[in-house]
Amino acid sequence: MQKILVTGATGGVGTRLRMLMKGLYPSIRWSDIRKPDDLAADEEFIVADLADLAAVKTIVAGVDGIVHLGGYSIEGPWEMILNANIVGCYNLFEAAYRAGVKRVVFASSNHALGFYPRSQRVGVNVTVRPDSRYGVSKAFGEALGALYADKHGLRVTCLRIGNVGDAPLDQRRLAIWLKPEDLVQLIRIGLEHRDIHFEIFYGASDNADVWWDNSNARRFGYKPTGKADDFRAQAMAAQAKLPPDPIGDRYQGGPFCSDEYDADRAG
Ligand code: 15L
């Protein structure tokens, strides 16, 4: 991998990656719908709206691999999700394939499976159970990745990311926390491992309260260094300040499940 493109570079995760991935590859191009305020003189950045295929063709030109973080990163109105995450993701894979890009690492999300109960351990071969329009868009992105891998030979890795941050923020995040450095490890496997065809990995660190079977990532050499348990006391203290959420607390997707929830009233 000589030249990498990272979309979504101005978002929370993208901003961390701009620091952590510095110097990892000979050349990294960053892109987002708006420029970050702290762009350094030696960083290549192209502003692009993912819903605009011509713009996406420009950002993928000449790159070997893509880390696709771009899009809307929480639940939102359908129009927003449709343009940024559905059309945007299609444009990204289609432009990548047409431009001869070799690999894509797609930032999927735990919300593609948010309606699995917390009591159930899930692996990578289960049916998706999205908890939101956002979660549906991530399931769509995974399906697109499989299509471009199987039909066109693009090497695709989908990372079902939990929550990236310095520490787990509450009880739910004790199970799904992903230390930023562990995310970089997963990205590097997707961009560099010889045997990648189409793979799904869970984006979680070495957490004691785990809901996911991440043996597929470990099979590719993933050795997470973060342990959510080291932050248990502070996460539980933060949890104690949150209002009760009977639906959210039952399912892996938490508040994404209780948001707009009215299934109990369906009769
Ligand atoms: C996600 O997919 C979101 O992008 C992030 O903002 C968090 O909400 C995270 O999931 C989470 O589940 O905590």
3 state SS for the chain = CCEEEEECCCCHHHHHHHHHCCCCCCEEEEEECCCCCCCCCCCEEEECCCCCHHHHHHHHCCCCEEEECCCCCCCCCHHHHHHHHHHHHHHHHHHHHHCCCCEEEEEEEHHHCCCCECCCCECCCCCCCCCCHHHHHHHHHHHHHHHHHHHHCCEEEEEEECEECCCCCCHHHHHHEECHHHHHHHHHHHHHCCCCCEEEEEECCCCCCCCECCHHHHHCCCCCCCCHHHHHHHHHHHHHCCCCCCCCCCECCCHHHHCCCCHHHCC
Whether residue 171 has its Cβ less than 6 Å from ligand 1? no
Is the entire prediction scored with pTM above 0.85?
A: yes
* pLDDT tens sequence across 94-136: 999 999 999 999 999 999 999 999 999 999 999 999 999 999 9
**Nearest atom, ligand 1, residue 109 CA:** 2
Whether residue 110 has its Cβ less than 6 Å from ligand 1? yes
**Is 134 part of the annotated catalytic residue set?**
yes
* pLDDT tens sequence across 167-198: 999 999 999 999 999 999 999 999 999 999 99
**Nearest atom, ligand 1, residue 114 CA:** 12
